[in-house]
Structure 1
Amino acid sequence: MRILITGGAGFLGSHLCDRLIAQGHDVIVLDNLFTGRKENISHLFSNPRFEFVRHDVIDPFKFEVDQIYNLACPASPPHYQYNPIKTTKTSVMGAINCLGLAKRLKARVFQASTSEVYGDPEVHPQREDYWGHVNPIGKRSCYDEGKRCAETLFFDYHRENKVDIRVIRIFNTYGPRMLPNDGRVVSNFIVQAIKGEDITVYGDGQQTRSFCYVDDLVEGFIRFMNQNEFVGPLNCGNPGEFTMLELAETVLKLVGGRSKIVHKELPSDDPKQRQPDITLAKKYLDGWTPQVPLEVGLERTIAYFRTQVG
Structure 2
Amino acid sequence: MRLFSSKLYCEDVKYVANIDLPWEKLQNNSILLSGATGQFGSFLTDVIMYRNKKGLNCKVYALGRNEEKAKKRFDYCAESEYFEFIKYDINEPLITENIDKIGYVIHLASNTHPVQYASNPIGTIITNIIGVKNMLDYCVEHHADGFAFASSNEVYGENRGDVELFDELYCGYIDCNTMRAGYPESKRCGEALCQAYISQKGLDVVIPRFTRSFGPTLLQSDTKASSQFIHKALAGEDIVLKSDGTQYYSYTYTADAVAGLLFVLLKGECGSSYNIASSSCDVMLKDLALKIANCCDKKVIFEIPEELESAGYSCATKARLSGNKLQSLGWMPKFDLSTGIERTIRILKNNQNMEGIKA
Give me the TM-score of the superposition, normalised by structure 2: 0.79
Question: Quick check: 1:168–1:235 contact (8 Å CA) kept in 2?
Answer: yes
Greater helix proportion: 2
Question: Quick check: 2:209–2:273 contact (8 Å CA) kept in 1?
Answer: yes
SS in 2 for 1:153: helix
Q: Deviation string for 1:119-138 (max 9, x for gaps)?
A: 22224311110123112232
Cα offset for 1:263?
4.4
Question: Quick check: 1:10–1:40 contact (8 Å CA) kept in 2?
Answer: no
Bigger mean CA offset, 36-45 vs 100-109: 36-45
Cα offset for 1:230?
4.5
In the alignment of these two chains, the number of paired residues is 306
Cα offset for 1:148?
0.9
Question: Quick check: 2:158–2:316 contact (8 Å CA) kept in 1?
Answer: yes
Among 87, 96, 103, the alignment partner of 1:66 is 103
Question: Quick check: 1:99–1:157 contact (8 Å CA) kept in 2?
Answer: yes
Bigger mean CA offset, 96-105 vs 152-161: 96-105
SS in 2 for 1:68: strand
Matched, 1:96 2:137: no
Q: Distance in 2 between matches of 1:239 and 1:231?
A: 25
Larger Rg: 2
Q: Deviation string for 1:66-107 (max 9, x for gaps)?
A: 110001112121134332212211111111111112122331
Q: Deviation string for 1:220-259 (max 9, x for gaps)?
A: 11121112535311111232311111111111211114x3
One-letter identity of the residue aligned with 1:132: G
Structure 1 alignment gaps of length 5 or more: none
Question: Quick check: 1:177–1:304 contact (8 Å CA) kept in 2?
Answer: no
Equivalent in the alignment of 2:17: none
Q: Deviation string for 1:134-169 (max 9, x for gaps)?
A: 122323222111111110100011112211101111
Cα offset for 1:260?
3.8
One-letter identity of the residue aligned with 1:292: F
Equivalent in the alignment of 2:87: 54
Equivalent in the alignment of 1:298: 341
Among 285, 291, 296, the alignment partner of 1:250 is 291
One-letter identity of the residue aligned with 2:65: N
SS in 2 for 1:110: strand
One-letter identity of the residue aligned with 2:288: L
RMSD of aligned alpha carbons: 2.2
Q: Distance in 1 between matches of 2:248 and 2:290?
A: 14
Bigger mean CA offset, 139-148 vs 300-309: 300-309
Equivalent in the alignment of 1:207: 247
Larger RCO (CA within 8 A; separation ≥ 6) = 2
Structure 2 alignment gaps of length 5 or more: 1-28
Among 180, 193, 196, the alignment partner of 1:140 is 180
Question: Quick check: 1:106–1:164 contact (8 Å CA) kept in 2?
Answer: no
Percent identity reads 28
Cα offset for 1:38?
4.7
Q: Distance in 2 between matches of 1:247 and 1:71?
A: 25
Bigger mean CA offset, 241-250 vs 259-268: 259-268
Cα offset for 1:214?
0.7
Equivalent in the alignment of 1:222: 262
Pairs within 5 Å for 1:148-163: 148-163=188-203
